[in-house]
Amino acid sequence: VLCGVGFLALMFQISLATADEAKHSSNKACPVGLVSGQTLDQEFGTGTSAITHCLERRHGVKLVVQINQFCLDNVPNGQCTRPYGLAHLANMIDDYEITHGMVPGRDYEMIAVAHTAGGALMVKADRGNQFEEQVKKLMARGVKFYMCQNATRALVRIGVLPAGNATGSIIEGVEYVTAGVTAVVDFQYQGYRYVQP
């Protein structure tokens, strides 16, 4: 009887390990979907699909993106037309979802930590952030944003955010971390992979 119970326990452990491996394994087919509506060979030339590396891991992906600048270009904020990191986040989501058929929350999680000058991307439009709608669209696609409280203090000091009610001027849905840089490290300890756009 004990041998039978031991054998069943062993078989159960093997089946759990196999199920876990299947859950985290990837299919090799690439692409699942086409970003432009054309095949890779049509879009980039004959032979492109044969030399294209697609994602191996398509399940259980967790990443933390550091946004530590306001603008992608070296221009004053008022002249900025390309926010730092936001287009990269949208491109990553498109690659995961369109090209590789991944589902947010099931196959991947994406968080962004905004600190230093990147903190200004987390304030509302009426406080000078012309990119509020882009942040909201990314949030609607599943990106979770965190703002550094040190960056918030700096924005209060220079008058971008009101003293005593900075939170009321932050985009709704954005949460805080006490310090952006240490939060990035902490998220890595939680299993998130680090990305710097």
| Sheet with 144-148, side-by-side order of all strands | 175-177, 144-148, 108-114, 61-67, 193-195
Give the pLDDT of residue 79: 83
pTM of the model: 0.81
Give the pLDDT of residue 94: 93
Backbone φ and ψ of 49, nearest 5° = -65, -30
Give the pLDDT of residue 24: 41
| pLDDT tens-digit profile, the chain (197 residues) | 544 444 444 444 444 444 444 444 444 567 777 888 888 889 999 998 889 888 888 899 999 999 999 998 887 767 888 899 999 999 999 999 998 999 999 999 999 999 999 999 999 999 999 999 999 999 999 999 999 999 999 999 999 999 999 999 999 999 999 999 999 999 999 999 999 98
Between helix 86-94 and helix 132-140 the angle, nearest 10°, is 30
